[in-house]
């Protein structure tokens, strides 16, 4: 066995996306202590930058020391107590995972279901809220990574507020790629991932909680079932003026990377990043349609950063073709997940990967292999 030398692939799957040299270099700076005053200063900067990315003034905004799945679990196990009713919107793998988490937290899930590849139907959400006046929480996925569909987070949250229900949003794939206005839309608890449109290495989950969410957590009658994800404990490390109490040892070097990636986002400007994702999506769309691919998701509900497509009928070996793209072209594109396994491709244009050069490279590589 020898030191690992990964290829320099172009990552156009559903994440991770390509990580900028600046971010990789930042992550390789000397490790310092997680209670070192300069590290506490870094944490404070990360919170400020992350609020910018989330478009939120929420004080409690930080990266969970684990991947997006743990961020999802943090939101759910802190807001849901045994017996609580939760309306869960499912239109793909990750809504299903929310339901699984709700039930493991002892919650009662009421499912609003929609077709894979479509947005959540807001009228179904309204009906579920009407039928379940005792619901405490509504959870949904803003950008379904398994299908490439974008749901109307603004409308869903407005409805939930009308019915006095708390909202949990999965923004793993949306943060940094499409408009996400946590405060303006009034989302109460939000989790995301580091490795999508923020273009950090995988391993951290940005989260943000507003005052309503924190009040709900403070009023819990039972302890949060997870010690590692218990916000009432984690908060003493990430918040507080001056001294912080030790909870767990955070991934110090991963935080360097997150800080650098957020700096890059701020330098470009969040709105400009949204525009860049959209422009490159349009380029990719034109090229893919020219090659005979068809989009899974109707245009109005599409995520620019995650293009899910049916392959041209002439291709009967999707796995083999993906493997050839990887082996011969150092190009990773994603396959389908769950009900879409072996049926679709997911072509990501996330964060640092979303450039015109990459779009052209991808289209040329596919064209050369299917010719």
20 to 79, contacts with its own copies by CB under 8 A?
Answer: 22, 24-34, 36-39, 42, 45, 48-49, 65-70, 73
What is the footprint of its own copies within residues 96-135 (CB under 8 A)?
A: 97, 100-101, 104-105
Min CB(294)–its own copies separation in Å:
24
CA–CA gap between residue 237 and residue 231 (Å, rounded):
10
Among 140, 178, 177, 172, residue whose Cα is nearest residue 159: 140
Inter-CA distances, 62 with 50, 108, 209, Å: 7, 28, 9
CB of 48 to its own copies, least distance (A): 7
Identify the CA nearest to 222 among candidates 232, 212, 213.
232
Q: How far is Cα 185 from Cα 173, in angstroms, rounded to an integer?
A: 18
Structure tokens at 275: 């525009």
Q: In the complex, what is the shortest distance from the CB of residue 343 to its own copies, in angstroms, rounded to a whole number? A: 16
Contacts of its own copies in 192-231 (CB under 8 A): 193, 195, 201-203, 223-228
**Count of helices and strands (H, E) across the chain:** 13, 14
Between 9 and 355, whose beta carbon lies closer to its own copies? 9
Measure CA 325 to chain center: 25
**Interaction of residue 15 with its own copies, rule CB under 8 A:** yes
Residue 92 CB, nearest approach to its own copies (Å): 13
The stretch among 10-18, 113-121, 286-294, 296-304 that binds its own copies (CB under 8 A) is: 10-18
Q: How far is CA 367 from the centre of its chain?
A: 30
Examine residue 13 and tell whether it contacts its own copies (CB under 8 A): yes
Q: How far is the CB of 112 from its own copies (least distance, A)?
A: 20
Nearer to its own copies (CB atom), residue 1 or residue 300: 1
- State yes or no: residue 263 binds its own copies (CB under 8 A): yes
**326 touching its own copies, by CB under 8 A:** yes
Nearer residue to its own copies within complex by CB, 148 or 251: 251
Total residues at the site for its own copies (CB under 8 A)? 76
300 touches its own copies (CB under 8 A): no
Q: What is the DSSP letter of 149?
A: E
CB 265 within 8 A of CB 273: yes
**Strand partners for 345:** 309, 335
């Amino acid at each position: 066995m020898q030191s690992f030398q990964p290829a320099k692939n172009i990552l156009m799957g559903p994440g991770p996306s390509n990580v900028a040299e600046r971010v990789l270099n930042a992550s390789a700076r000397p490790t310092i202590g997680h209670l070192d005053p300069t590290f506490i200063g870094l944490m404070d900067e990360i919170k400020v930058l992350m609020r910018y990315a989330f478009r939120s003034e929420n004080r409690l905004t930080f990266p969970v020391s684990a991947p997006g799945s743990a961020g999802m679990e943090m939101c759910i196990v802190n807001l849901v107590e045994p017996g609580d009713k939760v309306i869960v919107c499912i239109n793909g793998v990750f809504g299903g995972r929310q339901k699984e988490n709700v039930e493991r937290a002892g919650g009662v899930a009421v499912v609003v279901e929609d077709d894979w590849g479509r947005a959540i139907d807001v009228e179904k959400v309204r009906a579920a809220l009407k039928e379940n006046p005792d619901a405490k929480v509504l959870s949904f996925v803003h950008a379904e990574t398994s299908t490439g569909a974008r749901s109307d987070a603004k409308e869903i949250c407005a409805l939930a507020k009308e019915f006095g229900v708390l909202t949990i949003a999965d923004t793993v794939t949306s943060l940094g790629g499409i408009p996400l206005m946590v405060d303006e839309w009034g989302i109460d608890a939000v989790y995301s991932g580091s490795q999508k449109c923020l273009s950090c290495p995988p391993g951290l989950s940005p989260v943000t909680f507003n005052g309503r969410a924190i009040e709900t957590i403070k009023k819990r009658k039972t302890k949060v079932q997870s010690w590692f994800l218990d916000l009432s404990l984690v908060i003493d490390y990430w918040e507080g003026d001056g001294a912080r109490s030790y909870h767990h040892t955070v991934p110090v070097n991963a935080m360097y990377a997150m800080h650098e990636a957020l700096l890059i986002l701020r330098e470009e400007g969040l709105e400009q990043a949204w525009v860049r994702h959209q422009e490159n999506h349009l380029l990719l769309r034109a090229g893919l349609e020219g090659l005979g691919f068809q989009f899974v998701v109707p245009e109005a509900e599409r995520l620019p950063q995650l293009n899910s497509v049916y392959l041209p009928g002439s291709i009967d070996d999707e796995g083999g073709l993906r493997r050839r793209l990887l082996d011969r072209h150092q190009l990773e594109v994603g396959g389908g997940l769950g009900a879409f396994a072996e049926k679709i491709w997911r072509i990501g244009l996330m964060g640092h990967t979303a450039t015109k050069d990459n779009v052209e490279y991808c289209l040329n590589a596919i064209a050369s292999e299917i010719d």
